[in-house]
Every structure is written in structure tokens, then in C-alpha cells.
Amino acid sequence: MRLVGPSGEQVGIVPLAKALELAQEYDLDLVEVAANARPPVCKLMDYGKFKYESAMKAREARKNQAHTVIKEMKLRPKIDPHDYDTKKGHVVRFLKQGDKVKITIMFRGREQSRPELGYRLLQRLAEDVQDLGFVESNPKQDGRNMIMVLGPHKKKTEAMAEAREAQAVRKAERQGVAADAPE
């Protein structure tokens, strides 16, 4: 078998008994790295440490991984201006967090005969938040509802990084204020 040393150097092609002897001498494990190679490749390493480090890398990768989340906001065609502003504020917050937003307008009774009211409301909302997001799917009627999806301009990972930075700044300011406070 081809043997690779503990620091990555090539030991050469050695018999199995010699490789096991070297592993015992270095107090390391003999790990088969490439079984299908001719001859098979083995490496001298601390297998427990290797497993721990690979688990830590996987954990770090999961921590930085972004999950695509679709938030939903429901509106009515005859919405009060203040209620519209509140709902728009929620949509803005979702887009800043890097989430997609599905906006649903629910029509009841006679409102169903006036879908243009819902369409205009969705267009107005899209124009109000165009600096944070874009229309991913145009408004379309689906039975009693009209649906539009907005996507954020920045990715979820960028939004998460910005949030972490802002949190670190706030924490530093709090600690600075606490240090300046008289006792």
C-alpha cells in the first residue's frame, strides 16, 4: 500500500505489517484514504481528532447556511391607509431580513368582480418596496385570492452577516456606555 505520513509527506509503498508498525510507533491510526487506487492509499493520522475537526467544519457550514423562507402577508382590497402602512412595514422588514414575501389579497363577495382594485394595490406595494425587493411572480388571480411574490435584492446570507455586524456594534456601544457610567 502507498503510505502518507502524519504531516502529509509521502512515505512510499510499504507492506501492511510495516505500515501498522509505523502507526504504532507514532501512536496514530492507520486510515485508508483511497481504497480504489492501485495500490490503496493509507494515511497515518489521529482519527478521533480528524472526525472532531470534520464535525466542527460541518457545524460551521450549517451555521452559515441560509434557509429560504417565504413569509406571507394577507391584505384586503379595501384596506385603510394606516393598515396598509403597517403591512408594508412588515414586508419591508421581511425583505431586509432576506426573506421572500408572498402577498395575498383576499376578495369577498362583490369584491371578486373588481380584481383591478387588488391588482392596483399589489402594484403600489411593489413600487413602495422596489429598493429592497423585486417582483418575483406577477400578480395572478387564484379563485378568491390574488397572489404576488416579492424577492429580496440581497441574499439571506448577506442579510444575516449585516445583522450580526449591527448586533456586535450595539453590544460594543452598550459595553462602552457601561464603562463610562459612574459607580
Judge whether 41 lies within some domain.
yes
Alpha helices, H only, 27-80: 47-64
Same domain? For 75 and 35 the reply is: no
Is pTM, for the whole model, over 0.85? no
User: Residue 21 belongs to a domain with what CATH number?
Assistant: 3.10.20.80
Same domain? For 41 and 99 the reply is: no
The H-or-E segment that residue 32 falls in is strand 29-34
CB 29 within 8 A of CB 47: yes
Q: Cell 494515511 sits at which residue?
A: 43
Same domain? For 28 and 76 the reply is: no
What is the extent of the structural domain holding 114?
Answer: 70-156
Judge whether 59 lies within some domain.
no
pLDDT of residue 179: 61
Same domain? For 85 and 26 the reply is: no
Whole-number Å distance between alpha carbons of 42 and 78: 72
Give residue 181's pLDDT band: very low, low, confident or very high (50, 70, 90). Answer: low
Whole-number Å distance between alpha carbons of 40 and 49: 23
Whole-number Å distance between alpha carbons of 4 and 43: 5
Q: pLDDT for 46-83, tens place per residue?
A: 889 889 999 999 988 887 776 778 999 999 999 999 99
Q: pLDDT for 87-109, tens place per residue?
A: 999 999 999 888 899 999 999 98
Judge whether 177 lies within some domain.
no
Same domain? For 152 and 87 the reply is: yes
Whole-number Å distance between alpha carbons of 173 and 14: 61
CA-nearest of 72, 85, 71 to 121 is: 85
Same domain? For 76 and 152 the reply is: yes
Omega prior to 115 cis, within 30 of 0:
no
Judge whether 178 lies within some domain.
no
Judge whether 31 lies within some domain.
yes
Judge whether 35 lies within some domain.
yes
Q: pLDDT for 108-117, tens place per residue?
A: 989 889 899 9
Distant-in-sequence, close-in-space partners of 112: CB < 8 Å, separation ≥ 6 = 144
Judge whether 170 lies within some domain.
no
Strands 100-106 and 145-152: antiparallel
Give the chain's domain count: 2
User: Residue 129 belongs to a domain with what CATH number?
Assistant: 3.30.110.10
Q: Which is higher by pLDDT, 155 or 174? A: 174
pLDDT of residue 74: 95
Same domain? For 82 and 138 the reply is: yes
Same domain? For 80 and 110 the reply is: yes
- What percentage of residues in the chain have a pLDDT greater than 70? 96
Q: Which residues of 51-77 are buried (b: 16+ CB within 10 A; e: fewer)?
A: eeeeeeeeeeeeeeeeeeeebebebbb
CB 121 within 8 A of CB 111: no
Same domain? For 43 and 78 the reply is: no
User: Which strands form 29-34's sheet, in the order they lie side by side?
Assistant: 10-13, 2-4, 41-45, 29-34
Judge whether 175 lies within some domain.
no
Same domain? For 36 and 89 the reply is: no
pLDDT of residue 183: 57
Same domain? For 36 and 111 the reply is: no
Same domain? For 152 and 99 the reply is: yes
